[in-house]
């Protein structure tokens, strides 16, 4: 393994296997996210994101929170502890700003993940795997 790959692999393993960090995050918010920069194999630190909820019978997005990912690519405390209000939510990730800070051109200026919450007592985790030319998301656990 090359000398540059070993630190990235260790960071990725810590990121994916950190149950301690996930446990703390779950206690503080019913909604969590984390972003992994798949081009480097490292967490996407400093990525700006916004959480919004659809209001006015589906006509208007209301921004609930603006935040940045931490050194582990996570964004704890998106919502206060307790049940989420049922409805349609959107996580908007400023991917263009993230890649520009790294001197990297990218294809997607932002990524918006829209999802619906019907069970207010569940917890929700929305990961984002990101490269300059692609992204993947899914409902995590």
Question: By C-alpha distance, which of 28, 67, 27 is closest to 51?
Answer: 67
Does 34 show up as a binding residue in the annotation?
yes
Does 138 show up as a binding residue in the annotation?
yes
Question: By C-alpha distance, which of 117, 121, 96, 92 is closest to 106?
Answer: 96
Does 125 show up as a binding residue in the annotation?
no
Alpha carbon distance 25, 76 (integer Å): 5
**Residues annotated in a binding site for substrate:** 34, 74, 138
Feature table: binding site: 34, 74, 138
């Amino acid at each position: 393994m090359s000398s540059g790959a070993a630190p990235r692999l260790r960071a990725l393993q810590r990121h994916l296997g950190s149950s301690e960090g996930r446990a703390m995050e779950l206690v503080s918010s019913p909604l969590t996210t984390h972003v992994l920069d798949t081009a480097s194999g490292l967490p996407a630190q400093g990525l700006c994101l916004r959480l919004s909820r659809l209001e006015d019978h589906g006509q208007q997005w209301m921004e609930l929170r603006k935040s940045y990912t931490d050194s582990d690519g996570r964004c704890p405390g998106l919502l206060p502890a307790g049940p989420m209000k049922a409805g349609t939510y959107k996580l908007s990730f400023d991917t263009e700003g993230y890649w520009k800070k790294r001197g990297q051109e990218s294809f997607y200026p932002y990524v918006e993940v829209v999802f619906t919450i019907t069970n207010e007592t569940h917890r929700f985790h929305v990961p984002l795997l990101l490269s300059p030319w692609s992204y993947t998301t899914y409902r995590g656990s």
